[in-house]
Structure 1
């Protein structure tokens, strides 16, 4: 118990999370599992994330992992806690490190708080699309960043998927970097997202996601960027006129696992790896289908002026040049490895 508390303290310091806000989960962590790996008893693993149950990350990701593990019959079962039930992102990262949460789905930018190079997976135009992300994560080029994260955090990465590309909305069309001039664009407050804003030529304004609709309605900001699923969930068509399909960043999710990984049998580890691999494919398909259906619905309803002739090549050239000049050390190495692996 002392070692686990020490690990938790280290992570809380790294993520700058106040101790009073840390959410500890009992009943599913490494120290509370029923039965040891290899025994006849079933061990229950907790899987936490921040998404709603109707989002692809849950129904095509977390739920698929749980279903695949159930079907594998290797003495494991997975209990899912969606919608940040076990705490916000930073809280859950600390809980995974200490073993209080077994598996978590996290954005790369959030994980950058404890290992900065991994946030580069969320860099603007780092990836050409979800297939590029899958190829990078499945190849040798990703080994340094994944191993570096494991060494720093003591956390195993089981896989990664794209939760959808991010696009611009505003009350004017955004086709080129010049169209962003003079616009106050809302970006999340993480270092990588703010760097992306500069790389794209945007004037970033930080606004909490929960306050985004009101900020757009009142004119505190002129526009914003998000994946299609978030744009739909926030009903931003009510307060914005143009949706510009810039696809300037993939929302990269990583499936991470606590040190309990080392306590599992080889058969259980193989089953978990296979389950996550299946989920990666399912999420990719679900996101693409959901986005296509939503955009078709918007076109038919005339809710937006949908700008599908964005000069993505101009945006990408500008962003890549900026990031290559700005990133340093291991972060630059990760970015260069990603770009070198582009098909």
Structure 2
């Protein structure tokens, strides 16, 4: 049975796979700030889909967790209350464990490697698995390599991480990476993070450069270390029943425009990182760029924890894509 669509026109009946009711609005919810490349890419996606479908499909955007926390948004997408979402692999792995492997600590050396793996063998392998959970994967977008900030000291070696109290999201992969470096971790909701930093509940946190910049976390943190300990990205997904209610042409349009928007976001995130770092330094943040091999060398226990969580077969399959 088809999940409820938000229909603004007068034709309410859907003919699965052959015709779509006119003037259908598909809601796309995500967690990125309105100034972040993720939302700008979502705007480009929405505009292109409307234009290419002659207005038959309109995309309504809800950025910055307007429709709930990231886990709530994804659950609503699976249930059909929201049609589209932009979760990370760390959210998707709660439903399909294969996605848990992507955030393996120090798995990727570069954006180019990550994109080649995710768009190629990983998507071919893991993408179809999401349909069993009621989702269709449209394309990989971006979020970035994650880095550590703190108020106590610069980080130049793994020893400098030991003893730091760091806020993390709930993803086991991030927790395992930082605990593997000797930090203690605390899971705090992102909207509560500024107060936690300001009040000294934690010494620091970790996020991609774009998040640190767009949310002005330098107002609360003195030191930033480019540790790149975990890579993750947004993944555009759509409710399965909704997707297969569209015509084949409309499905193709969504896939094509999703890929274009994802590529746009990737280019923007990568291009802006140097500018954002320079702006953070100009604002007084002290940035270190440690040699990462000693950090990666300590990740054996962290990778074992990820393998236990994701499944050894899934981990072995993922690692085979990196060779």
Band the TM-score falls in, shorter-chain normalisation: 0.7 to 0.9
| Partner residue, 2:304 | 325
Residue 300 of structure 1 pairs with residue 282 of structure 2? yes
| Superposition TM-score, scaled by structure 2 size | 0.86
Aligned match of 1:38 in 19, 24, 32? Answer: 19
Q: Distance in 1 between matches of 2:190 and 2:180?
A: 21
Instruction: Describe the SS at the equivalent of 2:22.
Output: coil
* Greater per-residue helix proportion: 1
Q: Distance in 1 between matches of 2:276 and 2:98?
A: 33
Matches within 5 A, 1:1-343: 27=6, 36=15, 37-38=18-19, 41-60=22-41, 62-73=42-53, 75-151=56-132, 153-170=133-150, 171-259=152-240, 260-301=242-283, 303-308=284-289, 310-319=290-299, 321-326=300-305, 327-328=307-308, 331-342=311-322
Instruction: Describe the SS at the equivalent of 2:87.
Output: strand
Structure 2: gaps spanning 5 or more residues: none
| Superposition TM-score, scaled by structure 1 size | 0.82
Q: Distance in 2 between matches of 1:33 and 1:56?
A: 35
Aligned residue-pair number: 315
Q: Distance in 2 between matches of 1:313 and 1:341?
A: 21
Contact kept in structure 2, 1:159 and 1:256, CA below 8 Å: yes
Structure 1: gaps spanning 5 or more residues: 5-24
Structure 1 residues 224-260: Cα deviation after superposition (integer angstroms, max 9, x where no partner): 2111222224433233221111111123211111021
Shift of 1:278: 0.5
| Partner residue, 1:8 | none
Shift of 1:27: 2.1
Contact kept in structure 1, 2:105 and 2:303, CA below 8 Å: no
Residues 297, 329 of structure 1: alpha-carbon distance in 2 compared, 3 angstrom cutoff: closer
Contact kept in structure 2, 1:33 and 1:44, CA below 8 Å: no
Shift of 1:82: 1.9
Instruction: Describe the SS at the equivalent of 2:226.
Output: strand
Contact kept in structure 2, 1:165 and 1:251, CA below 8 Å: yes
